Amino acid sequence: MQFSANLGFLFRDLTLPDAIRAAKRHGFAAVELHWPYDTDASVVAEALAETGLPLLGINTARGDVAAGDFGLSALPGRQTEARAAIDQAVEWALATNCRNIHVMAGKAAGDEAFATFTGNLRYATEAAAPHRIGLLIEPLNPRDAPGYFLADLPTALRVIDATEGAAKVMFDCYHMQIIQGDLLDTATKYADRIGHIQFAAVPDRSEPDHGEVDYGWLLRAIADAGYSAPFGAEYRPATNSFAWMERFQP
């Protein structure tokens, strides 16, 4: 199995280029980011080229964080901002050869939010598809992200169906365990709709070597079922140890 370091949480004490280098030193096969827009994309591209690590994904901007925004694309009346965030992400992805963009829905509910989100995803497809950049959408559990539009997998699947497969699911095992559990069956049942898998300990979201989910078993089982991409380590580190990586190998 291979692992991707989510630099939104890991190596936060380093600059982004140095965090990429640290991920390489610790044996990660890829990296992924949250909101890297304060760093010049060319500097990140240089670090990626130096290490040989692919960049698996970035998120669209959250919006006005101080005002409570956590994504824009499902917010009625804010399509101009949402599409500007999509354009920004596409430009940044092109400069860094990033493979996917996670289009953040934001805090909203109802039919109008659904129509807004699907419309913005179609816009994102037109912007990203010519460059072979994939789109991801992610269900977030309501305990950590109250009010987020995508609060469960069925809603995400409805969005995908309504946009003719414009996006795939970012299947974060931490969120999905809290939302519904039954991770192996769900991940294998919807394998063709999943674009990336992430993990962290439940319930504390730290190193994945403890808690409710036996990731040493689960990730191997998902890989045995056919998933071949790096698994995204998106956890908040409580220690400086990466011993779990060695233990998870067959």
CA distances from 141 to 6, 62, 180, 231 (A): 19, 17, 9, 19
Could you say which of 112, 126, 212, 234 is catalytic?
234
Cα separation, 175 vs 145, in Å, equals 10
Q: In this structure, what are the phi and psi dihedrals at residue 53, rounded to the nearest 5 degrees?
A: -85, 135
Could you say which of 138, 207, 212, 246 is catalytic?
138
Q: Is 32 one of the catalytic residues?
A: no
By the 10 Å C-beta count (0-12 exposed, 13-18 middle, 19+ buried), 154 is classed as: exposed
Q: Is 246 one of the catalytic residues?
A: no
Q: What is the side-by-side strand order in the sheet with 231-233?
A: 30-32, 3-6, 231-233, 194-199, 168-172, 134-137, 100-102, 58-59
- Please list the active-site residues: 138, 234
